[in-house]
Copies of this chain bind each other. A is one copy, B any other.
Amino acid sequence: MSVQQSISSNLCQHCARSSACFGSLNNTTSQTAHRSHKIYHRGESLFSMGDEFEALYILRAGSAKSICCSSNGEEQISGFYYPGDMIGADGFDSMTHSCGLKFLETSSVCRVGLKELDMALIESSSTRRKLLKNMSHALVDEQQMLMSIGKLNSEQRLAKFLLDLSERFQIQGLSANTFDLSMTRIDIANFLGMAIETISRLLTKLQHQQIIKVNRRQVILLDIQRLQQCLLVDSGISWLTDLQKLNLKNRQSASLVA
């Protein structure tokens, strides 16, 4: 499940986890264009759907969600972002943003303008690699998410969501067991393609099973192993196994006849 796993670890030296940035570009050409760091608050937008694409951003602190819009006007959250994640790469396609981005809490982003970026891409092979790696990772991430929504049942989806969050908090150096959700159940439901009531019910179910403990936005994973086991249980749609089963049955009936 995506949850945009550390999409852009290591892109900005000033930013989260102080890792190498979009370039040594600071050192060379664009010495003047120093990075702009800006603060946003809960509910504010970094950009909206359709806005002109003029920069990439890296989330330094806080969290955010990206919101897409369907043909019939419904909104869908396509990912959650945490410190270190790259934001806005969807803009290269049409040079406008296909998703809006809203902050879930007070957050800070680092802005990298397109010109600045292009120069960095010319000069630094490591920057090229990093950008491609990040976009590629976002791609892989979304594929995973597609898998999840397509093949897992509600409980598995929720379990995967929690485990992914846990992993990402751990990467940030936070607790993998105890964390606070910055998004509402409505957001989670929207993201996972389920009803909020289902989310609620499943959370309490997992709580009764002593697998997790939930109190408002605070989540404690009591037994990560059992949570992982939720994913393995084959209660979903099985595709190729389906064919295999069919083959098995055909052979069985054939052998019975014979």
Contacts and interface: CB of A to CB of B under 8 A. Distances in A.
A74 B238 contact: yes
A231 interface: yes
A237 B189 CA distance: 10
A76 B136 CA distance: 18
B137 A146 contact: no
A193 interface: yes
A228 to B, nearest CB: 8
A246 B241 CA distance: 43
Contacts of A62: none
Interface in A45-94: 68, 70-72, 74-76, 78, 89-94
A138 B34 CA distance: 31
A140 B90 contact: yes
A143 B234 contact: no
| Most chain B CB within a 10 A radius of its CB, from A74, A89, A195, A232 | A74
Contacts of A72: 231-232, 234, 236
Contacts of A231: 71-72
A74 B136 contact: no
B193 A89 contact: no
A211 to B, nearest CB: 17
Contacts of A142: 139, 142-143, 146
As for how many copies of this chain the complex holds, the number is 2
A183 interface: no
A151 B195 CA distance: 11
A17 interface: no
Contact of A74 (B98, B145, B151): B151
A93 B133 contact: yes
27 contacts: A68-B143, A68-B146, A70-B144, A72-B234, A74-B151, A74-B236, A74-B240, A75-B240, A76-B147, A76-B239, A90-B139, A94-B140, A99-B143, A118-B128, A121-B121, A121-B128, A122-B125, A135-B135, A135-B136, A142-B143, A142-B146, A145-B146, A150-B190, A150-B192, A150-B193, A151-B193, A186-B239
Interface of A: 68, 70-72, 74-76, 78, 89-94, 98-99, 118, 121-122, 125, 128-129, 131-133, 135-140, 142-152, 160, 186, 189-193, 195, 231-232, 234, 236-241, 243
Given A90-B140, A98-B140, 12 more contacts: A68-B146, A68-B147, A74-B151, A78-B143, A89-B135, A92-B136, A92-B137, A98-B143, A142-B146, A150-B191, A150-B193, A151-B193
